[in-house]
Structure 1
Amino acid sequence: MWLKNKEIPAVRIQDLKKFFPQIPEPLFNKELKKSEQLSIQQIYFTVTDQFESVQSLHIDSETGEEIWFTETVSENEGFIQFLEHEHEKVSLLEKYEMLIEANDTGNSRIKLLEEFADIVERNESRSLELLDMVFYYLQDKHKSDFDSVFWNVGEESETYKEFHSFLEKYKFIG
């Protein structure tokens, strides 16, 4: 019934909760979005994963000594990572669909999304760098103690510092 998107009786939901305790109860009685389906699959394959210990041989390149080590290998690791990646992509698409569908302000949001897509699609490094800086400051990431943007050395780092000074000068940031 759950897979066919039909309403499930309360007693059966409790049975499902026993089998799938990691899945939030509201998901059992609703039509699932693609991202929710992927989340459930990821939970299932994580919970049912099998692990195996495997011994591997490594030969030290300097001494020629054989070194054996044991590692634990997950049966589902690759598929779980695939599901996680797919979930990220589908969730992002669902966000964009929601923004487009809930577009009460005319075409301004749609136009903004189109312009963003055009910039990313052109893949010009200077445009992407500027876009990165704008998003960096719009999300207030610059307020954290650890500033990963300034890890870069050379010209890019100077560009960020100058952009930061510009935003401070005109009171876009405090």
Structure 2
Amino acid sequence: MQRAIAGIKSRWRNFYYRRLGVKLTGYVWMREIEIPRNYGDIELEGGCSLDRGVVLLCSGEPLPHPKIRIGASTYINRHTFIDASLSIAIGRECAIGPGCYITDHDHGLDSDLPPLTQPLISQPTQMGDRVWLGANVTVLKGVTIGQGAVIGAGSVVTKNIPEGAIAVGVPARVIRYKQPLPVPNLVY
């Protein structure tokens, strides 16, 4: 019964956010998420899942392209915060652990200005398909994480991570690469 109720609530959220302008290209499984404003700046592909407490925040003026794009079959775990002012693209079939923070901007460091009046400095942030972020990972502006990469829990990604890499730490560093699965030698 609880599962049926959760499904009905998710379908209601799909209807609600679609009416507000979020671009949904199919059904998206949504728990209690938060999208405070700029609904038209978000594109979610069908089959992705957003768990309880996920926040999708787009700041600044609308752009001709989505500021947040999440690919099909990607799962975003509880209390993850995606904070975009320019462009955050998350690929297909990604797994994002709980408590992650993904951004495409930070603030300037002008000593003559108070912190809250510093200008935003934005650069696109991208994650390829099948990327896996452990719990509490932070991904900073201008970073590209290659297809199939794994980022260990608690890491802070400040630089690009190559395809198939396993990276950990603060700042995240590549410690090794995923090994390709052996091809079975079948004799008939």
TM bucket, shorter chain: under 0.3
Structure whose CA Rg is larger: 1
Structure number with higher strand proportion:
2
TM-score by length of 2: 0.21
